[in-house]
Structure 1
């Protein structure tokens, strides 16, 4: 008897939860001090890094450094999905063009970004 391994269909890929919100800052050191003063626990990055992540219950608050000119980037919402690659294919099948194909990040997530019709950046991710 041969047992076939069933691959999940791209239609099975679904949103699971809100993972994080990423906010832009001109001054990472000042922003890190502020969130640490509020009692947020730093998980990644720091005052001298371009990207910092804080624990926020079961979610995260991320900071990204924008050093040139006014902040034209408000931030990004990060949404966990059941399967990043399958969700990416599902997005493509609906005619939506992500900014890049799924990739692995040094903070141990697989992710890709897209922009909604109003210019809001959405990131779809899954822990590695």
Structure 2
């Protein structure tokens, strides 16, 4: 029997609000190296992709201004230092260089034009459960809650 923990998810695609579709597309394309497609005339929805990582953007109403300062997306990459150097050369504003974290990832963040915090991280020592999940508490562990 297949359970939800056995189901093979293919990928995730967060959908973020944006206030200016053109500025968002230009930033993600020219600064972060993503390609994309848009829908609507003028565009009201876009999907930007680099490799197998995809992030979608929906044009938000003019009166809506809700942006979290938490990560809006965390994108896993093979070599975070190489990506950081690429973005630095392109003039992307980078608040700090890559840092190694206690959860086994080396990462840095950027803010997109709407203030979404996007993290780019590299898993340092792969865990069979996936990035950052080696110490999780769940129903498949002896430490699981009843």
Settle same-fold status: TM greater than 0.5: no
More strand by share: 1
Q: TM-score by structure 1 length?
A: 0.44
More RCO (CA 8 Å, sep 6+): 1
